[in-house]
Amino acid sequence: MARVRNSLGPIAGYHGCDRIVAEQVLANKAHLKPSDNSYDWLGSGIYFWVDSPERGLAWAKDSKKFKKPYVIGAFIIPGLCLNLTDYGVRDEIKFAHSFLFNYCEVGGVSLPQNDKREKGVFLKRELDCAVIETLHNSRAEFDLPPYDTVYGVFEEGGSLFDGSGFREKTHVQIAVRNTECILGYFRVPGYD
């Protein structure tokens, strides 16, 4: 089934960064830069935590790479979204994995692997990233419209309480590939 453009409603996303970067973006003097690490679980894009400024700020603080950890908000229209919470996308993802697997096998190269397992969860997702990027590339090969965003749930951390299926750091993220989906940025009240 073809994906529907704008099947998800508008999203408030939150991006953890250094305060200097946030101030430049808010002043319309700079743009947030897409992440394109080989382990980015949703593939390349500008990453936002959905509906959670707390998680965005916590990530910025935990990363220890920012002098002044900060969180900036954005209004996002997902556009044509690869929504990983939609049961209907599984065949496209399986196809991309199969294609990548065969490509690696024929080329004699190792299939990327997910790595850095903590509390049962892979934190560095090189295999997942490669599959998502293969999916994007295959859409281009078949003249299908590109996905503007990728949206998914990431279960992370230890159990919230004894016997729980809930995890401490579970979150929803969206990776924006098409910056036209970002309608604008805003300062997050209470996070100055």
Query: What pLDDT, in 10s, does the model give residues 165-176?
Result: 888 888 899 999
Q: Tell me the residue type at 80.
A: L
Asked if residue 4 has pLDDT above 70, the reply is no
Q: Is the pTM of this model over 0.85?
A: yes
Q: For residue 65, what are its two tokens?
A: 């790479």
d(Cα 72, Cα 191) in Å, to the nearest integer? 9
- Residue 153's Cβ-side half-sphere holds a number of Cα atoms within 13 Å equal to 7
Report the 10 Å Cβ neighbour count for 187.
14
67: left (phi over 0), alpha (psi -120 to 50) or beta: alpha
User: What local confidence, expressed as pLDDT, does residue 165 receive?
Assistant: 86
Give mean pLDDT, residues 52-71: 95
User: What local confidence, expressed as pLDDT, does residue 6 receive?
Assistant: 65
User: What local confidence, expressed as pLDDT, does residue 159 receive?
Assistant: 86
Give mean pLDDT, residues 37-45: 94
Asked if residue 144 has pLDDT above 60, the reply is yes
Contact 80, 135 (CB under 8 A): no
Q: For residue 76, what are its two tokens?
A: 């996002």
Asked if residue 1 has pLDDT above 50, the reply is no
Contact 145, 138 (CB under 8 A): no
Place of tokens 């990530």: 59
User: What local confidence, expressed as pLDDT, does residue 141 receive?
Assistant: 94
d(Cα 188, Cα 51) in Å, to the nearest integer? 11
Strand partners, 49: 14, 173
pLDDT band at 36 (very low <50, low <70, confident <90, very high): very high
pLDDT band at 126 (very low <50, low <70, confident <90, very high): very high
